[in-house]
Structure 1
């Protein structure tokens, strides 16, 4: 683990005592017809759990500390095999257990990525960059902030060559980049620029259904939302509707910020 200098530790202690740090409570709700297994993966700071079971109608609150940077997703169709190894049809973190410690393997699921208290603001994004498995909404507690979501069942409109199946049938819709990893689909090498990276029909399928979600690097600047510190959030999987929102001072981040966020998606 990287050592922290005494100066950094002293500064961190001062900020904590002075109350500059601000955490958020993130509540995860399951309104799906089946049990889900949420994943909470952290790049910076840590939360109390990295994975758990959530039956239909249940919810669980997670304390996201100041400076937390991480993602939340949901695994589906999970079970233990005869040896006790735990695995899931979608979103499996390959840990062999309900918790997801260690590194994270990207898979075709619906992600929510958070930065808590980053420059005195919170930001979040719903990402379909790798694919989709469940509809969800993100609702901030601050009434001045904007709720967002991807509520359409993209599995129903998924092109045949992007469909992901398990023994129980269709379970997810992969992104074109996840499927083929070509430069054109992944916006790499020659296609890494806005002038050359154009939305493919696959990307357009995601964009039309969930315009506020991030699906490829240059799909616009309306998929990243910010809010003030100390805002709590409710993430609902399989919601019935998106609550009314206000057009407020919380606006999508400008395009340069969006480019930066794409960089940390591929860590």
Structure 2
């Protein structure tokens, strides 16, 4: 029996290194001004515990995600237990408790989809398909490829959300519902006769959030839907309400250039401004000369035409005028002369 123990530990070590028993750590931070209640919902069979908890402003909590975990992370806000039933204004999973076991009701909030060691890799994506409630930023612990990088969505909710999709509570704007989540129509949700890219066009909500968060999933046929893939040993820092985009590794950033003397730049700028002014002045003078020449030419032609008309009238004025009686007498005289 004792001889078999080293073999057992060797096999266990191999399984751990190969990723079968490995886990990733999900470190969730709250940098919002108020308490949030994160949700970690799991699709079977792997489960994460706890599935919901409170996180006060400035706090962080590390969660071990088991191998082959497939689930989502979101954050609830404005929660209370005043009626004996736990409820939240945004992101409520409708369990009546802080944790969110069992089924999950989709809400208009910011979602993060994670796959931990599924197919030998980790992956995540940001989804605004149902709506948006809090800014979020995801930072992988290591970048092993061009597809493993930090990303997030931080927007001004009042400016980005269309007016008809804004949701207020206690006088404050706290949620933006997607067009699909609000109407449920086939046209907004790309279902039924609108299930093809040719027939399902992006709504105003989709267009606004695609511009604000180009790496987020906004609707079925979005051109910017990105899945970030990392190694199966990658850990993640998930920050709600980041004040700015975090620096992941200072070594990955290019060094700042040395400061240079700006006097030459200032001289070049002044000379450039003077040159532009001279060019504008020359163009103005040329235009004025051309316009004056055209006006003078028109005046000369007009004067010549007037002179010709006066000469013509003068020559016409010397033509003798014959009255009708004189004309009749002339005709009669010619007739008598012929006889």
1:85 Cα deviation after fit: 1.2
CA contact (8 A) 2:124 2:229 kept: yes
- Is the helix fraction higher in 1 or 2? 2
- Is the strand fraction higher in 1 or 2? 1
Going from structure 1 to structure 2, the CA distance change for 1:217 and 1:16 (only over 3 Å counts) comes to: farther
Counterpart of 1:249 in structure 2 is none
Normalised by the length of structure 2, the TM-score is 0.65
Per-residue CA deviation, residues 97-149 of structure 1 (Å, 9 max, x unaligned), is 21111110000000001001111111101100000000000000003431000
CA distance in 2, matches of 1:195, 1:91: 32
Point out where structure 2 has 5 or more consecutive residues left out of the alignment.
1-10, 250-339
| Structure-to-structure mapping, 1:239-258, within 5 angstroms | 239-244=242-247
Counterpart of 1:125 in structure 2 is 125
Normalised by the length of structure 1, the TM-score is 0.82
CA distance in 2, matches of 1:102, 1:23: 23
SS of 2:123's partner is: strand
Counterpart of 2:287 in structure 1 is none
Counterpart of 1:18 in structure 2 is 15
1:157 Cα deviation after fit: 2.6
1:244 Cα deviation after fit: 4.7
Asked if residue 72 in structure 1 is aligned to residue 62 in structure 2, the reply is: no
Counterpart of 2:166 in structure 1 is 163
RMSD: 1.9
Counterpart of 1:207 in structure 2 is 210
CA distance in 2, matches of 1:209, 1:38: 24
SS of 1:116's partner is: strand
Counterpart of 1:58 in structure 2 is 59
Going from structure 1 to structure 2, the CA distance change for 1:216 and 1:15 (only over 3 Å counts) comes to: farther
Going from structure 1 to structure 2, the CA distance change for 1:15 and 1:111 (only over 3 Å counts) comes to: farther
Per-residue CA deviation, residues 179-233 of structure 1 (Å, 9 max, x unaligned), is 1111111011121112222212221011111111100011125421100111000
CA contact (8 A) 2:29 2:239 kept: yes
Going from structure 1 to structure 2, the CA distance change for 1:120 and 1:28 (only over 3 Å counts) comes to: same
Counterpart of 1:40 in structure 2 is 40
Asked if residue 140 in structure 1 is aligned to residue 140 in structure 2, the reply is: yes
The structure whose Rg is larger is: 2
SS of 1:216's partner is: coil
Counterpart of 1:233 in structure 2 is 236
1:166 Cα deviation after fit: 2.1
CA distance in 1, matches of 2:15, 2:62: 26
SS of 2:34's partner is: coil
Structure with the greater relative contact order (CA < 8 A, sep ≥ 6): 1 or 2? 1
Going from structure 1 to structure 2, the CA distance change for 1:15 and 1:129 (only over 3 Å counts) comes to: farther
